[in-house]
Structures are given as C-alpha cells and as structure tokens.
Structure 1
Amino acid sequence: MNTRSGLFAVAVGALTALGLACGGAESVDELPPEPPENEVNFPALVQGVVNGWTINTSEEFPPIGCGAGSLINQMRCVGGNCDDVGAYCASAGATFSDTYWTSYFSEEGTNYRTCSAGWWMTGLVCRGAHCDDISIQCTQVTNRGTGSCRWADRQFSEEFPNTYSLPSGWYARGLACTGGLCDNLRVYECQLL
C-alpha cells in the first residue's frame, strides 16, 4: 500500500468511526451506502448562492452550492440525459459547521447518496459524459433539527418536468438517479425543524 492510499484509508476509517461518513440509513427503503471509492479527487468546498438559483453545472463546469445559511429546496436539469443540473438555494436560517463530499454515484451500482444525520445537501459536482457521475456536498447544520424524511414522490429530468420543488419547510439531504447516464434524478427530502 502506498502512502497516499494508506492516508486515504486512515481518513475514511476516522470519518466512519466519528459517524460522519455519508449515507446513514434513515428509512427502511434505504440501503447502506457503498464505501468511498479509492483515489476520489474531492472538489474544493463551495461558497455559493444564498437565496436564488445557482448556475447549472455539468462535467465541464465547476461545482455548484449554497452559501452560508441556505439549503436546497428546488432542483432542475436541462440538456440531453439531464446534462446540466442546477439548484435553488433558499435562506433557511441554518448555522453551518463542517462540510464533506460524498463518493461519486451513478445508475450503475448503488445509485444514490444521502447525507449523514444532521447534515444537509448544499452542493453538487459532476464528472463523466452528461453529468453521469455525481457527488453531493453535505454540510452540518448545528442550530436546527430534522423531522420526517422520504424520497420524493417523483423524478425529474429534461424530458418531463425538469424542475422539482420540495414542499415548504423541506430541504434536500440526498440525491438518486436512474436511466442511462444518470438521466432521471430523485431528491431525498427532509423537514427542517
């Protein structure tokens, strides 16, 4: 094992031991997440939009994300196979602490990632043709609690409603995809208390 791989394995083990690794199963519909991929190049932390739409991102563009205190309550995509993805960041009065990026996911294998308990989705980055592989940014909220959580009752893509709006008071805590090149997206949503 080279030094880089060894340090990565130690870091992943420490995060897991602290309960900070993504994907804590919160409903019977969820499966445990896959372990992070080796040698994943996680993007720099995102400082982003506080109240409004982000620019769209894809594999050729930088990560998108919400600024301090804002959480994602709408998402959209345009272009073939949901190539370009954007998010609406709404001011939620949240106090942020630490941030991490999940491992990438696609329709092959485990096709979703969710943020750990107390952590909320605040950003997104893509790699691969048409945003085929997705990693989400999870940020710890220290001043608010979490109510009920569920997978959204519908998917969104460029072919049919290309925007998904979460119910009032609900925000994204994860994302899943189906279809070739991660074409159809579904939000894991929770009430912010």
Structure 2
Amino acid sequence: MSIHSSHLKAVIVVGSLFVLEGCGPGSVGDETGGEEATGLATTEQATMSGWTSYTSEEPSYTPIICDQTGLVNGAQCTGEHCDNVRFFCEATLFAVLGASYWSSDFSDENSDATYCKAGHWLTGFKCIGRFCDNVSIQCTAISNFTPKNCTWTGWYSENYGSIYFPSAYYARGMQCRGDYCDEMSYYICQK
C-alpha cells in the first residue's frame, strides 16, 4: 500500500504543477489586442507604458505621446509608405521631467537628422502631408538622465514590422529616407 501511496503523491504533485502553470499572467511573448493593431488614434493618445495607438496625417488623428515618465523604447509603422506610426513607451523610474517642445517638421527631402536638445528625450510624434511625409518629434527635458553610448538604429519600414531598442536605451532623435519618409531610423541612448 505504501508503494501506491507514494505514486499517488507524485501524481498529485506533478498534476498540481500543471494546473498552477495555467494561472497568472500570460507568457512574455503573448500579445493581445489584435484589434488595437488595426485601429488608429482618434483622440490624443498618451501612454506611459506599452504601445500607443497609431497616428497618421489625416486630420482626425492626433499626436502620439509617451506620458509622465514614459520614454520611446520601440516603434512600429503600417500602411503604404509607413503611413501609420505608433511608439512603444517604457516607464522609467525617478525621471525628473521638465518642459516639452516640438521640433520643426522634417522629411526625406531633408537629409539631416533631427535631434532633441541637450537634456531632452524623444516623447512624441506627429506628422502632416501625404503618407505622413512631414514629421515632427516632441522632446521632453529630463534633468536627471545623462545619455551615454548613443547610436543610430538600422532603418525600418512597414515591411519589417516593429523595431525594439535594447534594454535601457531610449530615443533622442530621428531621421527618415525614401519616398514619403518611408524608412525611419532612431538615435538612441542609454540613460
């Protein structure tokens, strides 16, 4: 009888592990909200942590902004010529925020990159013109973050899906190339 009891105990323990595995949050790779991926923002979208809604050049769409202590840690675009854009905002601890400003518009016709001023980090995006051709970025002062190990990301467009920056790297500038600013690259720095 003791042999059967020990087998029963083992089955209960192993079975409990399988039951508990199904509890709690989904796996890291789980992405939900497929309907979100197809919707565009119709009101200003401020997100501290996670994906913003998409924005585009159409008049009913407003800028996307990483709110409070959120900084841009990734981006995605869809549609013809990277027409619809959204950011992945990551909450940062202990950020001391200051004033924000919007850059002048830039496009693929300007070969120069647009950088946030010293002490500022990229926190927002808006565009005008056909296929979101003319872009402006919002930069926000963060007095206690010192950028280091800065570099440019590779180019990406709607053909490549999303771009995620390395851990603790956040955007401080942006540039684009191709018809209608079709490909984008970000100037990222470690905080």
TM more than 0.5? yes
Structure 1 residues 122-161: Cα deviation after superposition (integer angstroms, max 9, x where no partner) = 0000000110000000000012211121111x111012x2
1:23-172 alignment, distance < 5 Å: 48-60=46-58, 61-93=61-93, 94-152=95-153, 154-159=154-159, 161-172=160-171
Percent of residue pairs identical: 41
Q: Normalization by structure 2: what TM-score?
A: 0.73
Gaps of at least 5 residues in structure 1 are 1-45
> Which amino acid is the alignment partner of residue 141 of structure 2?
Q
> Which amino acid is the alignment partner of residue 167 of structure 2?
S
Residue correspondences, number = 145
CA drift of 1:110 comes to: 3.5
Q: Distance in 1 between matches of 2:112 and 2:63?
A: 20
Q: Normalization by structure 1: what TM-score?
A: 0.72
CA drift of 1:114 comes to: 0.8
CA drift of 1:47 comes to: 7.1
Whose Rg is larger? Answer: 2
Query: Structure 1 segments of 4 or more deviating over 6 A?
Result: none
Is this contact kept in 1: 2:45–2:63, CA < 8 A?
Answer: no
CA drift of 1:112 comes to: 2.5
Cα RMSD for the two superposed structures = 1.2
3-state SS of paired residue (2:131):
helix
3-state SS of paired residue (2:46):
coil
- Structure with a larger share of its residues in helix: 2
Structure 1 stretch 123-132 or stretch 139-148: which is displaced more? 139-148
CA drift of 1:111 comes to: 4.2
